[in-house]
Amino acid sequence: MASPLFLDGVKTIAYELYEQVGEVEGVVLPMERGYLALAIYEGFRELREWGGSLVNYRG
């Protein structure tokens, strides 16, 4: 299992994507154990909770 601190650090990628690109329809990620995908999903989920408007958010 990935460390919670690792996931918190990596989910900032979602914040950066949203800040630089705005709304996104999807993100393509390499998969191994899925920690990167989980962290980025959590980042976008948090943005949604904080009032961010995301296109095609599936949460």
- Concatenated DSSP letters of the chain: ---HHHHHHHTHHHHHHHHHH-S-S------SSSHHHHHHHHHHHHHHHTT---TT---
Q: Tokens 């989920």 map to which residue?
A: 45
Q: How many domains does the chain have?
A: 1
Q: Is the pLDDT of residue 29 over 60?
A: yes
- Give 15-25 pLDDT, tens digit per residue: 999 888 887 88
Q: Which domain holds residue 16?
A: 4-49
The mean pLDDT of the chain is: 83
The whole-number pLDDT of residue 53 equals 55
In angstroms, the Cα distances linking 28 to 37, 44, 49, 51, 52 are 9, 14, 22, 24, 20
The whole-number pLDDT of residue 54 equals 53
Asked whether residue 24 is domain-assigned, the answer is yes
Asked whether residue 59 is domain-assigned, the answer is no
Q: What is the mean pLDDT of residues 42-59?
A: 72
Q: Is the pLDDT of residue 40 over 90?
A: yes
Asked whether residue 54 is domain-assigned, the answer is no
pTM for this model (two decimals): 0.73
